[in-house]
Structure 1
Amino acid sequence: MGFAGLLNVTVDSLSLAYQNLSVQLIVYLIVFTIVLVVIIILNRPVNIIRDFSRTDVNLNRLNQPGCFPNGWIGVCESQYLKDNEIKRFDFCGHRIILLRSSSSSSSSGSSLGKPYALDAFCPHLGADFSVGGKIVKKCETDCIRCPFHGWVFRANDGLCLEVPYAKDKKPPNGVKVKVWKCLEMNGFIYVWHHSEGEDPTWTPNIIDHITTKKWKYFGRTEHLVNCLLQEIPENGPDFAHLNEVHAPSFMWGGKIKENNNILIDSISHRWESTWQKGASNDSHKAILSLKSMTFLFGFKLAELEFDRLEQIGPAIVNLFFCFNLFGIRLEGCYVQSVISLAINKQKIIHHLYMEPNWMSSIVAQFLLRAEAIMLERDIQIWSNKIYLNNPKLVKEEKQIAMFRRWYSQFFSSSKEPQYKFEDLW
């Protein structure tokens, strides 16, 4: 073989090797891209939003209580109110604004400024502060400036400090915009609502593991639903519905339907729960324990134990859980907040926090999606049922009667629903 032939063989070999290397590089690049996308997806907080509110009129809902419960309402998620921002919210029959000062003016050392809650409309001529209003400083105090005529109101007490075109800029005596009591914790800004204007008698609990960032935020779900606020936490003591509505596999999705798939039906859930009202010094609380077991062909696959569910007031639930999969345990908490947009329209928000480790992101994706699916089954019921002041209960449902009596404390006495139950004990 001459030099030319040897050269041809070498060139062919190099060309073949180059082609093989190119194919391998392409395969590696595809695999790397897929892995990178999966990592990005798993590390991105989940954000599930569903709107199940009805546009038609549910005639079954015309005869129902016509008042809002009293308590702290999680009007806004902390992450959605930035420094020097003003936002408008509807809750419990009122329209308010939330504004946040700059973080540099916050005395708490927080990375975010202090939030304030005020009526949305200027008492001068009714302009909406959230449409063009500005946060300004007067005497080192956070204030809001009306977009219509420039009147300036102090954020902490609502007092009008300045009318720019009046003599000496002096405002009329005693002109104020209503200020609502608010506080911020656990990822929410809570506003106090009381139909008689009474001051708070209790406050929600701070969850230390969230404040100290021992638990990481993994995402949220949001659902709009037509029902009374009370009907949502009433699910807790309604033990009988758990194994009726929530026993079928989550793989069926959020629609309630008959099972007819052997493969999907091989996965099922079993539930156990208890409910009791809080101690006398914590009468605004109720305590629930809940255990969900997932079975595959009858063998227990995973266990999610909510060892302590705290119903705090009418609209806050903290669900502390321990997730066990093949002996691997993860602790965390759902923070649930329900916002009454109207008597018969609620926004349900869940935040998920867990201790971070190598599998937390995967578990969080599953837990948030499974929670959304199970909640959507309840929403189907709520949106189409009627509200009964005096339901016919059996003795095994005495916890529902206990819950309604406990929950009635959150209504003002003049508007409190009157429940009449037969002796279930």
Structure 2
Amino acid sequence: MRNISDELAIFVQEGAEYIKYLVATQSYDVAKYLVILAPIVTLWYYFFWRPFNYYRDFTDFGFQEAARKPPGKGSNVSKRNIINDMRSRRKLGELPPVYPNGWFIILESRELLIEGSREVSCLGLALVAWRGKSGKSYVADAYCPHLGAHLGVNGEVRDDCIKCPFHGWAFEGSNGKCVDIPYADSVPEFARIKMWETVEMNGFIYLWYHAEGEKPNWQPDEMREIATGEWKYRGRSEFLATCHIQEVPENGADMSHLNVVHKPAMLSGGKPTEAKLTWGFLTHQWSGSWEANSNPELSHRALMTLTHRMCLFNKIPFMEVNVQAHQVGPGTVYLRFKGFGGEGVLFFNVTPLEPLLMKITHTFYSSRSMLHPFGLLILLGEAIQLERDIAIWNRKTYISRPLLTKEDKAIKAFRRWFSQFYSSNSPRMSTAFNNPILPNPSVTTTPTSNGSIKLNPDNLSF
């Protein structure tokens, strides 16, 4: 299936051929108008129709030294090899468990077509996702229990079943049970694959991960305007960062960093120190607060309230914006706001692909009354600011008991709040690559009122 970019390329190529034909046949007037019209149509496509789509690899930020050719080494030493050497020498610190419990986004809905399948690797799991003929999505362990073929690699979807590409075993999406073995007279009752609990909403497929195997005790927030199609998809950005998952949402409680990392003007880009124009007369100023939800039934939620101002010459404020960022569980933050001629919601999602490799995405939906260029500007601005954070996350160490001032009290409050998403079997760095769920007897736990297990905050890495 051709994507939008392919269609545009074909359109431009065929248009160019047609203009050549008109010129060759002396139709100069028509050709002249088409030459004028072509760039207008192209600009309209990019600025008023095409969704924002931006991707950056972790190697782009914080590894400037890797771009310099090492002395005494040949030119065949790649930048990525040098970066991998730098990562191997990194001091990690006393890390918390690497996979917290909660809902995580593993795919965007548009990535999974009807009767299509996808390979998914995250949270130390090898998974297969597919969408049945009914339109419902399913997620299961990827390896066929027969002889270990990966169901997400050339696996065929029929109705709501997925068929193994190796021997044709078919597994039902609703319960994982094997319903057909083409060459066998009967199907063993115990033949099945493990199905994972998922929900699909807001244009995402969420997967529930819990190291103790507990069922979900809370749900992601659903945006009615997205479900009804009232709001339009404006685009996304995707980044990879080499850090612990806790480092990413902790930024929301770290107010002090905002007026350092995010003070330079957006126009100076994601690497302000390397910008040719510093735009020093134009700066961002930030203030705000972070607070966990005090309702025990909503303990998985927290709220960041933020005020952002643009300033001329660091003195004259203008264009003030007030934002509330809702943290829901360990992996999702969303911002609902009004402005630029409409309403919208920006999702900030983080999913661990490996213990120290995070996939971070921004996804933006807004009312149709909002001009598309404003939506693109919001996404671009968020992407630039995130690039500055990633350059730091990629190279920092985790300090379990940091030296904090009284102005940093929200950081300690955040770490205590985040500790609820770890449990006794939450995998540590030393075990995560071998098995995503293994007991960790060195972690002290206490029973909670509802019988579940919670880590003692004083025994966690702060």
Q: TM-score, normalised by structure 1?
A: 0.83
1:117·1:182 contact (CA, 8 Å) conserved in 2? yes
Match of 1:271 among 276, 283, 286: 286
| Distance in 2 between residues matched to 1:201 and 1:365, nearest whole Å | 36
Q: Which residue in the other structure is 2:22 paired with?
A: none
Q: Which residue in the other structure is 1:136 paired with?
A: 158
| Distance in 1 between residues matched to 2:29 and 2:410, nearest whole Å | 64
> CA 1:356–1:179 in 2, change beyond 3 Å: closer, same or farther?
same
Q: Which residue in the other structure is 1:341 paired with?
A: 353
2:93·2:400 contact (CA, 8 Å) conserved in 1? no
1:315·1:339 contact (CA, 8 Å) conserved in 2? yes
Q: Which residue in the other structure is 2:440 paired with?
A: none
Q: What do you get for the CA RMSD once the two structures are aligned?
A: 2.4
| Distance in 2 between residues matched to 1:194 and 1:398, nearest whole Å | 29
Matches within 5 A, 1:74-89: 74-89=105-120
| Distance in 1 between residues matched to 2:247 and 2:116, nearest whole Å | 34
Q: Which residue in the other structure is 2:402 paired with?
A: 391
2:364·2:375 contact (CA, 8 Å) conserved in 1? yes
| Distance in 2 between residues matched to 1:177 and 1:93, nearest whole Å | 17
Q: Which amino acid aligns with 1:48?
A: Y
Larger Rg over CA atoms: 1
Q: Structure 1: which 5+ residue stretches go unaligned?
A: 1-21, 106-112
Q: For each residue in 1:242-262, what CA deviation from the matched residue of structure 2 results, as whole angstroms up to 9, or x when unmatched?
A: 001001111111115288957
Question: Given the alignment of the two structures, is residue 51 of structure 1 paired with residue 90 of structure 2, yes or no?
Answer: no
Question: Given the alignment of the two structures, is residue 41 of structure 1 paired with residue 70 of structure 2, yes or no?
Answer: no
Matches within 5 A, 1:67-146: 67-102=98-133, 105=134, 113-137=135-159, 142-146=160-164
| Distance in 1 between residues matched to 2:402 and 2:29, nearest whole Å | 68
**Offset at residue 216 of structure 1 (A):** 1.3
Match of 1:149 among 164, 167, 184: 167
Q: Which residue in the other structure is 1:205 paired with?
A: 221
| Distance in 1 between residues matched to 2:280 and 2:29, nearest whole Å | 41
**Offset at residue 370 of structure 1 (A):** 1.0
Q: For each residue in 1:56-92, what CA deviation from the matched residue of structure 2 results, as whole angstroms up to 9, or x when unmatched?
A: 4242226523431011110001111111001011111
Question: Given the alignment of the two structures, is residue 226 of structure 1 paired with residue 234 of structure 2, yes or no?
Answer: no
**Offset at residue 354 of structure 1 (A):** 1.6
* Secondary structure of the corresponding residue to residue 291 of structure 1: strand
Q: For each residue in 1:147-205, what CA deviation from the matched residue of structure 2 results, as whole angstroms up to 9, or x when unmatched?
A: 111112111111122222222xx122312211000110011100111111111111101
**Offset at residue 48 of structure 1 (A):** 0.5
1:144·1:154 contact (CA, 8 Å) conserved in 2? yes
> CA 1:315–1:49 in 2, change beyond 3 Å: closer, same or farther?
same
**Offset at residue 30 of structure 1 (A):** 5.6
| Distance in 2 between residues matched to 1:218 and 1:259, nearest whole Å | 28
1:225·1:345 contact (CA, 8 Å) conserved in 2? yes
1:87·1:98 contact (CA, 8 Å) conserved in 2? yes
| Distance in 1 between residues matched to 2:397 and 2:456, nearest whole Å | 17
1:268·1:295 contact (CA, 8 Å) conserved in 2? yes
| Distance in 2 between residues matched to 1:131 and 1:258, nearest whole Å | 42
1:101·1:135 contact (CA, 8 Å) conserved in 2? yes
| Distance in 2 between residues matched to 1:261 and 1:99, nearest whole Å | 48
Q: For each residue in 1:360-385, what CA deviation from the matched residue of structure 2 results, as whole angstroms up to 9, or x when unmatched?
A: 21211211111111000000000000
Match of 1:356 among 362, 365, 368: 368
Q: For each residue in 1:107-131, what CA deviation from the matched residue of structure 2 results, as whole angstroms up to 9, or x when unmatched?
A: xxxxxx1000000000111000112
Q: Which amino acid aligns with 2:392?
A: I
User: How much identity, in percent, do the aligned residues show?
Assistant: 39
1:305·1:322 contact (CA, 8 Å) conserved in 2? no
Q: Which amino acid aligns with 1:280?
A: P
Matches within 5 A, 1:263-342: 264-278=279-293, 279-297=295-313, 298-306=315-323, 308-323=324-339, 329-342=341-354
Q: Which residue in the other structure is 1:382 paired with?
A: 393
1:390·1:419 contact (CA, 8 Å) conserved in 2? no
* Secondary structure of the corresponding residue to residue 413 of structure 1: coil
* Secondary structure of the corresponding residue to residue 373 of structure 1: helix
The alignment of Structure 1 onto Structure 2 pairs a total of residues equal to 378
Q: For each residue in 1:315-366, what CA deviation from the matched residue of structure 2 results, as whole angstroms up to 9, or x when unmatched?
A: 011111233xxxx553211012211100100000111112223x62121121
| Distance in 1 between residues matched to 2:98 and 2:172, nearest whole Å | 31
**Relative to structure 2, which stretch is displaced further, 82-91 or 361-370?**
361-370
Q: TM-score, normalised by structure 2?
A: 0.77
> CA 1:147–1:30 in 2, change beyond 3 Å: closer, same or farther?
closer
